[in-house]
């Protein structure tokens, strides 16, 4: 196995332990911080380490999640022999970061995607940004399977959106670290696995592809899907599921958010602290199910561009929002729902157990309870305006898609003996019982009473075996009482053990053994200071019958469980579809709860270039201020085809960047179907969302802050369309004033004349307004007639202090008040005095319009 899987760490099952040997043992001992020892092998001491079976999940998390290592699991499989118990050992699965199934450390609220990328052989590494790539990705734990094609220039955006745990490339890319695909993966911090591309003839077709007729589209995606399938078969081995047909995504039905914007807007993960705290996801999340949480994250990173889809979601949100009691009832019902997507996948992988079956039954009951509660809701269809009734019809349309699976729930509940779930792992009872004798000392057969998983009436065979077992156990009880009375031995019991077989046991031998010793039918087989055991033929025969019946019952239960277990894969499509509907109900219910808590409104969605938001708010910033007892200052924005670019000026820390971000987040929330933080909103569909905010240097890749800024700006100017929304903050700040001003003007010019997109452009280059023809709020030049100017300001207070006026107003503010911000930051008074004198001197010399000799410096006075 070490030779077969040289790229893996090999863990070998030995009884109740996992062990590692030879050269891998020191590495595993170091990674897991466990003791390294040695074992004699063919007369030679070899390194060895190991740990108990119960610690496997903890150590897999360290090896796979933290250290990104591949782990080959070599398991024991009982060998059918006539003699002693023997095992065969073989690798049944290779665990990688992207192929987790049901491990306890798998985050239930996040997808664990494995992504394969197919790169055409004719892609030019230098100028191939317009070439198409094939993408295929799946979450093995849920069975979700997607594919799409994308341009090479959009690959990094797709990586940020999908957030794969592992990415697969062919071996060709091992030696090409400068290839743009590899560079994009490195840029996003993706974990890359290199594999040999499978020959088509070697690929067993386990997926039926239903591609569009576009041959180019099909070939790119088909190659990615084949690469993904081959990788899964090579690693899942005996746990390989039959993959469903992939869901094919297109760029036309989803808002494209570039990778910089997903990070800058902190949609899913915080920029500074990581995690979801303070992010859009963390702030708006009110979901109660793990599937709903995963769906919410997917929606936020790929909002819809379909007006009908958005409005259907809004209708469900509105129905929940209007009636708090109905909302509370549904929330309570779905709160107990299980993660059916992952449970169904467990059964498809052959890993489901009795507890999972009961989870399926409980969730089916929850689906039925939802339908029942919705049907009881009379006021929705009998009262209200046409809009209310139309919303309720949309709500009912969604709920009515739930497939009736009550027969499956009834069958599971009828079959399983729920009172008998007294062990931690149901699978152990179904598949782990291979012997009828207890393994811990000597015990009575009474422990088998009431401990069965399947109800006796599930089949005639089970019922007959249970009746026989009860009859034999009753005979055993009668025999035990008769022997106790006949031989005056109150401590006598009839027992079985692996060492002694069927035997008569005395727990108080000194008191009770006299008559038994004198009877030849009792043959002494074991004795200690206080106990004694005998062989007794009648009990040996009866105990044998009990043992045979228990063995038959164990096998019959396994057969019955296998029948039940196959019910789930048979109904997998319906179960998954119902789970998807429940997830959507959970997310829309979350939106309604959020809207009620934070006074969000339902936006109107249009197909034009309008963008009108009255008193919009940044949801994360508002929540942070409210928790501190402060009030958020809302701001409005109105863009239309005749005025689609706004220049925003004003002091530092006066809310310009927050306003830009809140506008973008309002667009995201509107197009996922949520209500938005505003008093009124009309949003024209945004096909692409871009931001140029908060650049920082990238020294590892030899990129200065200014280079990063220009790369992001170039990407926006190249890709933005008339239906896009762009927010840009301080373009050109990383170079000289003249160069920066020129670049800022060129960027605005290109966005207005070429891209013609909606844009908010914040800047401290006050001269930019003059270049754009600012004059009392009206642009004089025809080329910039669509540009409007807004600003923030500060308000001076009598005692020399000041406060910010965060509300935007028409106009241009030529004061950035940088010295005031420096004062707030605690700059020493002497330094502030020098800065103030220098600023006054520069103003007198009209620094911006004259050339100053390097030897002509301002005169600074002490004080």
pLDDT digits (tens, 9 = 90+) for 340-366: 999 999 999 888 888 899 999 999 999
Q: Is the pLDDT of residue 383 over 80?
A: no
Domain boundaries, the chain: 9-95, 113-249, 285-405+571-598, 430-537, 604-795
Summarize pLDDT for 470-490 with one digit per residue, the tens: 999 999 999 999 999 988 889
Q: Which helix (H) or strand (E) holds 112?
A: none
Give the lowest-confidence range in 249-253, 280-284, 628-632.
249-253
Same fold, 430-537 and 604-795: no
> Does CATH number 1.20.1270.10 belong to domain 285-405+571-598?
no
Q: Is the model's pLDDT at 175 over the cut of 60?
A: yes
Convert the pLDDT of each residue in 817-835 to its tens digit: 778 778 777 888 888 888 8
- Helix, strand, coil percentages in the chain from 3-state DSSP, rounded to 5: 45, 20, 35
CATH code, 604-795 = 3.40.50.300
User: Is residue 526 over pLDDT 90?
Assistant: no
Number of C-beta neighbours around residue 643 at 10 A: 14
Is the pTM of the predicted complex or chain greater than 0.85?
Answer: yes
Confidence tier at 858 by pLDDT (50, 70, 90): very low
Parallel, antiparallel or unpaired: strands 166-170 and 192-195: parallel
Q: How would residue 239 be classed by pLDDT, with cut points 50, 70 and 90? A: confident
pLDDT tens-digit series, residues 412-435: 988 887 665 544 444 443 443 333
Alpha carbon distance 814, 232 (integer Å):
60
For residue 353, what pLDDT is reported? 87
What pLDDT is attached to residue 380?
55
Other C-beta atoms lying within 10 Å of the C-beta of residue 169: 24
What letter does residue 201 receive in the DSSP assignment? G
Token code pair at residue 480: 């035990």
Predicted confidence band at 860 (pLDDT cuts at 50, 70, 90)?
low
Listed ranges 118-127, 200-209, 536-545, 661-670; the one with the highest mean pLDDT: 661-670
Least confidently predicted of 2-16, 324-338, 670-684, 790-804: 790-804
Q: What is the pLDDT of residues 592-643, one digit of tens each?
A: 999 999 999 999 999 999 999 999 999 999 998 888 888 999 999 999 988 8
When pLDDT is averaged across residues 162-173 and rounded to a whole number, the result is 93
> How far, in Å, CA of 377 to CA of 382, rounded?
9
For every residue of 262-311, DSSP letters joined together read HHHTTSSS-SSS-SSTTSHHHHH----SHHHHHHHHHHHHS-B--HHHHH
- The pLDDT value recorded for residue 424 is 41
Compare 793 and 290 and report the one with higher pLDDT: 290
**Average pLDDT of span 7-27:** 92
CA separation for the pair 855, 857 (Å, rounded): 6
* Residue 518 pLDDT > 90: no
What mean pLDDT comes out for the span 139-151?
92
Length of the chain (residues): 863
Alpha helices in 684-803 (DSSP H): 705-719, 737-750, 767-771
Least confident of 127-131, 576-580, 628-632, 675-679: 127-131
Residue 313 has pLDDT above 70, yes or no: yes
| Residue whose pair of structure tokens reads 């106009």 in the numeric block | 811
Which of 816, 760, 829 is CA-nearest to residue 788? 760
The two three-digit tokens of residue 130, written as one number: 């317009």
pLDDT higher at 839 or 192? 192
Res. 770 pLDDT band, cuts 50 70 90: confident
Percent of the chain with pLDDT over 90: 51
Query: What are the residues whose beta carbons fall under 8 Å from the beta carbon of 257, sequence distance 6 or more?
Result: 157, 160, 161, 267, 301, 302, 303, 668, 688, 689
CA distance 596 to 98: 38
Q: How confident is the model at residue 403 (pLDDT cuts 50, 70, 90)?
A: very high
According to CATH, the topology of domain 9-95 is MutS, DNA mismatch repair protein, domain I (3.40.1170)
Is residue 123 predicted with pLDDT exceeding 70? no
CATH of 113-249, one of 3.30.420.110, 1.10.10.10, 3.30.420.40, 3.40.309.10: 3.30.420.110
pLDDT at 40: 84
pLDDT of residue 511: 84
pLDDT of residue 232: 93
Cβ contacts of 38 within 8 Å, gap of 6 or more: 45, 46, 47, 48
Least confident of 55-69, 494-508, 519-533, 835-849: 835-849
pLDDT band with cut points at 50, 70 and 90 for residue 852: very low
Query: Is domain 430-537 given the CATH code 1.10.1420.10 in the classification?
Result: yes
Residue 126, pLDDT above cutoff 70: no
pLDDT band at 697 (very low <50, low <70, confident <90, very high): very low
Q: Name the band, by pLDDT with cuts 50, 70 and 90, for residue 587.
A: very high
- The mean per-residue pLDDT over the stretch 683-700 comes to 77
Average pLDDT for residues 36-41, to the nearest whole number? 88
Between residues 452 and 70, the one the model is more confident about: 70
Mean pLDDT for the stretch of residues 65-70: 93
> How much of the chain exceeds pLDDT 70, in percent?
86
d(CA 617, CA 677): 5
Instruction: Pull the structure tokens for residue 859.
Output: 């005169």
Compute CA distances 179 → 9, 156, 163, 165, whole Å. 29, 13, 20, 21
Residue-averaged pLDDT of the chain: 85
Token reading at 253: 């039905």
């Amino acid at each position: 196995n070490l030779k077969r899987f040289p790229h893996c760490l090999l863990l070998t099952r030995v009884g109740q332990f996992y062990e590692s040997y030879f050269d891998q043992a020191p590495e595993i001992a170091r990674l897991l911080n466990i003791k390294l020892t040695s074992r004699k092998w063919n007369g030679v001491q070899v390194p060895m380490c190991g740990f108990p079976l119960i610690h496997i999940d903890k150590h897999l998390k360290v090896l796979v999640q933290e250290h990104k290592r591949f782990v080959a699991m070599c398991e024991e499989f009982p060998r059918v022999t006539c003699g002693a118990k023997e095992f065969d050992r073989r690798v049944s699965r290779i665990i990688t970061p992207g192929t987790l199934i049901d491990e306890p450390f798998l985050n239930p609220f996040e997808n664990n995607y494995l992504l394969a990328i197919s790169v055409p052989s004719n892609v030019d590494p230098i100028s191939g940004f317009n070439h198409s790539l094939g993408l295929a990705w799946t979450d093995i734990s849920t069975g979700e399977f997607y594919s799409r094609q994308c341009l090479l220039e959009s690959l990094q955006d797709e990586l940020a959106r999908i957030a794969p745990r592992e990415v697969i490339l062919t071996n060709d890319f091992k030696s090409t670290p400068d290839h743009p695909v590899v560079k994009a993966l490195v840029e996003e911090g993706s974990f890359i696995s290199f594999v040999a591309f499978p020959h088509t003839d070697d690929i067993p077709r386990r997926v039926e592809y239903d591609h569009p007729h576009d041959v180019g589209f099909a070939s790119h995606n088909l190659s990615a899907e084949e690469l993904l399938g081959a990788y899964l078969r090579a690693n899942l081995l005996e746990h390989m599921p039959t993959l469903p047909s992939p869901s094919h995504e297109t760029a036309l039905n989803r808002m494209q958010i570039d990778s910089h914007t997903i990070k800058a807007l902190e949609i899913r993960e915080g920029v500074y602290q990581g995690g979801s705290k303070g992010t859009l996801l963390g702030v708006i999340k009110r979901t109660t199910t793990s599937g709903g949480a995963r769906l919410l994250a997917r929606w936020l990173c790929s909002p819809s561009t379909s007006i009908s889809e958005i409005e259907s979601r809004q209708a469900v949100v509105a129905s929940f929002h209007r009636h708090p009691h109905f909302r509370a009832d549904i929330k309570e019902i779905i709160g107990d729902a299980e993660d059916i997507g992952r449970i169904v996948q467990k059964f498809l992988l052959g890993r489901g157990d009795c507890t999972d079956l009961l989870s399926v039954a409980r969730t089916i009951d929850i689906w039925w309870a939802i339908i029942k509660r919705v049907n009881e809701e009379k006021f929705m269809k009998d009262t209200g305006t046409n809009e209310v009734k139309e919303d309720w019809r949309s709500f009912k349309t969604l709920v009515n898609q739930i497939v009736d699976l009550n027969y499956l729930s009834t069958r599971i509940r009828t079959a399983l003996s729920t009172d008998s779930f007294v062990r931690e792992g149901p699978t152990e009872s179904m598949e782990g019982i291979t012997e009828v004798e207890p393994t811990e000392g000597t015990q009575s057969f009474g422990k088998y009473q009431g401990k069965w998983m399947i109800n006796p009436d599930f089949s005639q065979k089970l019922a007959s075996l249970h009746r026989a077992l009860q009859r034999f156990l009753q005979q055993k009880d009668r025999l035990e009482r008769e022997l106790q009375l006949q031989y005056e031995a109150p401590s006598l019991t009839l027992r079985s053990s692996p060492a002694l077989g069927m035997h008569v046991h005395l727990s108080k031998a000194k008191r009770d053994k006299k008559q038994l010793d004198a009877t030849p039918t009792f043959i002494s087989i074991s004795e200690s200071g206080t106990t004694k055991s005998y062989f007794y033929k009648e009990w040996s025969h009866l105990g044998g019958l009990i043992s045979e019946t228990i063995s038959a019952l164990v096998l019959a239960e396994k057969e019955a469980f296998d029948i039940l277990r196959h019910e789930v894969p048979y109904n997998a499509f319906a179960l998954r579809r119902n789970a998807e509907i429940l997830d959507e109900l959970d997310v829309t219910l979350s939106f309604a709860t959020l809207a009620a808590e934070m006074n969000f409104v339902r936006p109107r969605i249009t197909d034009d270039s309008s963008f009108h938001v009255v008193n919009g708010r940044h949801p994360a910033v508002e929540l942070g201020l409210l928790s501190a007892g402060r009030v958020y200052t809302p701001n409005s924005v109105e863009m239309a085809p005749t005025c689609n670019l706004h220049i925003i000026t004003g002091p530092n820390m006066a809310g310009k960047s927050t306003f830009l971000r809140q506008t973008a987040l309002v667009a995201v929330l509107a197009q996922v179907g949520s209500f938005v933080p505003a008093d009124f909103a009309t949003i024209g569909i945004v096909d692409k969302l871009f931001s140029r905010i908060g650049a920082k240097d990238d020294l590892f890749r030899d990129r200065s802050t200014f280079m990063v800024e220009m790369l992001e700006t170039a990407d926006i100017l190249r890709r933005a369309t008339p239906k896009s929304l762009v927010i840009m903050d301080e373009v050109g700040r990383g170079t000289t004033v003249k160069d920066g001003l020129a670049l800022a003007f060129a960027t605005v010019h290109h966005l207005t004349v070429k891209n013609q997109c909606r844009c908010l452009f914040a800047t401290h280059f006050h001269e930019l307004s003059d270049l754009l023809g600012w004059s009392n709020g009206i642009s004089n030049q025809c080329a910039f007639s669509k540009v409007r100017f807004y600003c923030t300001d500060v308000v001076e207070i009598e005692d020399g202090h000041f406060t910010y006026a965060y509300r935007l107003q028409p106009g241009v503010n030529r004061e950035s008040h940088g010295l005031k911000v420096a004062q707030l930051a605690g700059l020493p008074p002497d330094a502030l005095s020098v800065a103030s004198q220098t600023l006054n001197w520069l103003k007198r010399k009209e620094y911006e319009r004259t050339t100053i000799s390097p030897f002509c410096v301002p005169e600074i006075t002490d004080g």
